[in-house]
Structure 1
């Protein structure tokens, strides 16, 4: 089976392409000083870039998990999400509250997309 790793770092790959799917690692904002809306927009930009490198775009997303450090940030996260979302290609989505590794991070997003044929 062919496995392609994208944006490899010391401990993980930003995305892994295999078996017709793209698995996104949990993405966090490059600028942790941003509020939840800003962090979400930054993360979605990163997801766009990873999917582009894999040869596709957000329309291929099948499932997304959003982790919020504070569930009260959901409206702010949703503002960025709604501005980014392709309304004709909405993925399944789950949003949960959980502590994140860096207390400055407000949002982390992961997902699975269909790889191009």
Structure 2
């Protein structure tokens, strides 16, 4: 008999994939802006807001982030992202996750994609 916790899933907007999943005390989530006409700052803000909604749906929040991978369509935008990141992640170093930021080829109009792993504290 399988005694493992069931997998929870947060639906996404594209067929064949979800925006988030949870298993046990771990949560995985990914976000991009739904509005590809926004500038970088707008897409960052929209992505953070989406992550917060997904994490909440899976019963956690950004205070429990463990790992974050940031994909930028233009790595030259990293300094601008870092400003928004510091405002979003907050000043408490006990809430700061490990983070990587890389340049990547993203889908048309997408300037940023953020993928996270968080703990679920019940």
Q: 1:79 to 1:38 in 2, by over 3 A?
A: farther
**2:91 — aligned with what?**
87
Does residue 1:99 correspond to 2:67, yes or no? Answer: no
* 4+ residue segments displaced more than 2 Å: none
**1:23 — aligned with what?**
28
**2:46 — aligned with what?**
42
Name which of 9, 13, 16 aligns with 1:11. 16
Question: Structure 1 length normalisation: TM-score?
Answer: 0.91
What SS does the aligned partner of 1:80 have? helix
In our comparison, the structure showing a higher alpha carbon Rg is: 2
Question: In structure 2, what is the Cα distance between the partners aligned to 1:70 and 1:98?
Answer: 7
Which residues of structure 2 form unaligned runs of 5+?
Answer: none
Which residues of structure 1 form unaligned runs of 5+?
Answer: none
Provide Cα deviations, 1:54-106, integer angstroms capped at 9, x if missing partner. 1121001000000001011112212221221122211100000010022x111
**1:68 — aligned with what?**
72
What SS does the aligned partner of 2:80 have? helix
Deviation at 1:43, TM superposition (A): 0.2
